[in-house]
Structure formats: C-alpha cells, structure tokens
Amino acid sequence: MVDEVRGTCIDRIWAAVTADTGLEHELDRDHRKGLIEISLHQQNMTAKPLWDTMRAVIAEIVSRENSPYHADQANFKSLLGYMEAEYESLYNKRNALLHGTWLIGYISEDDPHSEKFRVRKFKTTADGLVEAAGLPQDVTELSSLTDRCEQLRTWIAEIDFSMRKNWPLSRHFKKEEKRRYHRVRPSSEYWTTFLEKHS
C-alpha cells in the first residue's frame, strides 16, 4: 500500500517533468526516473509524508487550468480526503505491527492451542505511555488488515491509472451519499467500497 503511494508520486512527477522533453533513449528515461526516486526512498519518507506528498503532487497537477484533469479537481480532492482516513488507520496499525513486540505461542486457559497472539506496542502521550489498541490477535484479523491494505492500494493505483489514461474519475469511482465506491473494472457494473469503516 505504501509502495503504491510512493510509485504514484514517482509516476505523476515523472509524467509532469517529461511531458515535453521528447526523450528518445530508454536509458535517459530510466536515469531521470531514478533521480526522482532518490528523495522518495529516503528513510524519512515514511507512510505519512509519502501520502502527503502524493496528495500534494496530484493537487498541483489537477489545479492547473490547462490540466486535462482540471474539471475533475473537486472529485480528486474529495476522493483523496475520503481515502486518507482509511490510509491513516492502516498505516498506524502497520507501524504498531512493524515496531511492536510480537508475543506468539503462549498457551493459556482461554487459548489452549495458542491460536492468538499479542503485539505489545506503546506510544507516548501527554498522559504517559498508552498501549496501542485494536491490533489483530489472530490470523483472521491480520488477514482482514491485509485485505484492507490491498483494497486501498487498488484505489490508489486506479487514480494513477485514470491520470495515465486521461480518464475522468467517474469511470472508476462514484459517490453515493457519504460513501465512495470503486468500479472493479471500467467495463463492469460491480462496485465496491472499503471493507470496513475507518477505525
């Protein structure tokens, strides 16, 4: 999911800076794209700054009056705002899972087959240490998080794809009341929304 955000930043910046260069050599293109990648693979570019960068890059592109996406500017802003809450929920859980201490294989009366695990992760607050809540405790819950990450990754990829093809967002996304939906394939009538509400 985070890699998709990084890749979208790279692709959108690459498309913007090379649109009129008329590059003829594959090596030149790869070299230039590699130069763009340097800043986006720097260790400080974690999930949150990458999202903020991608959102700002897209906003800059669609806000220009001569941009082919300018008419869809409000839709881009609304859709990315909707997705941001899910992204934030997922990267917070991801960070807690990555940096927490995994306690696996402990048998108890409640879990005689040690099917559950615990991830111990604290964060500092004004009230002192607070343990991260809402983390998965078994394979099913962990798989659910994986599915949510994959679904959000797909939505991010579809935004990038829409921009590559110069298609309106309505070909891939729609809004009904307060919910956003994604069309599984542009030719399909099957629409999905996020697997769970933001938590």
Q: Is 35 buried (19+), middle (13-18) or exposed (0-12) by CB count in 10 A?
A: exposed
What's the CA gap between 132 and 68, in Å, rounded?
Answer: 43
> Tens of pLDDT along 152-196?
998 899 899 889 888 888 888 888 777 777 776 666 676 777 754
- H or E segment to which residue 60 belongs: helix 47-63
Query: Do the bridges between strand 117-120 and strand 101-104 make them parallel or antiparallel, or are there none, so unpaired?
Result: antiparallel
> Tens of pLDDT along 177-189?
777 777 766 666 7
Q: Is the pLDDT of residue 8 over 80?
A: yes
Of the pLDDT bands very low, low, confident and very high (cuts 50, 70, 90), residue 28 is low
Return the number of other C-beta atoms located less than 10 Å from residue 154's C-beta: 16
